[in-house]
Amino acid sequence: MYIVSKSVSQGRKAGIYSVLGISTGSLVHTFLAAVGLSVILTTSVVLFTAIKILGAAYLIYLGVKMLFQSSSNMKLSDTKDLSIKKIYMQGFITNVANPKVALFFISFLPQFIGTDNSYGPFPFIILGLSFVMTGTIWCLI
Angle in degrees, CA 62, 66, 70, rounded to 5: 155
Please report, in tens digits, the pLDDT of each residue of the chain (141 residues total): 889 988 998 999 999 999 999 999 999 998 888 877 556 655 777 876 776 687 678 778 878 888 887 655 555 444 445 688 999 999 999 999 888 888 788 777 777 766 566 666 778 888 889 999 999 999 999
DSSP 18: H
Q: What does the alpha-carbon distance between residue 29 and residue 122 come to, in Å, rounded to a whole number?
A: 14
Angle in degrees, CA 119, 26, 18, rounded to 5: 155
Q: Looking at residue 115, what is its pLDDT?
A: 58
Output the DSSP codes for 88-133.
Answer: HHHHHHHHHT-HHHHHHHHHTGGGGS-TT--STTHHHHHHHHHHHH
- pTM for the predicted model, two decimal places: 0.70
Q: Looking at residue 76, what is its pLDDT?
A: 47
Angle in degrees, CA 105, 38, 125, rounded to 5: 50
Q: What does the alpha-carbon distance between residue 97 and residue 6 come to, in Å, rounded to a whole number?
A: 18
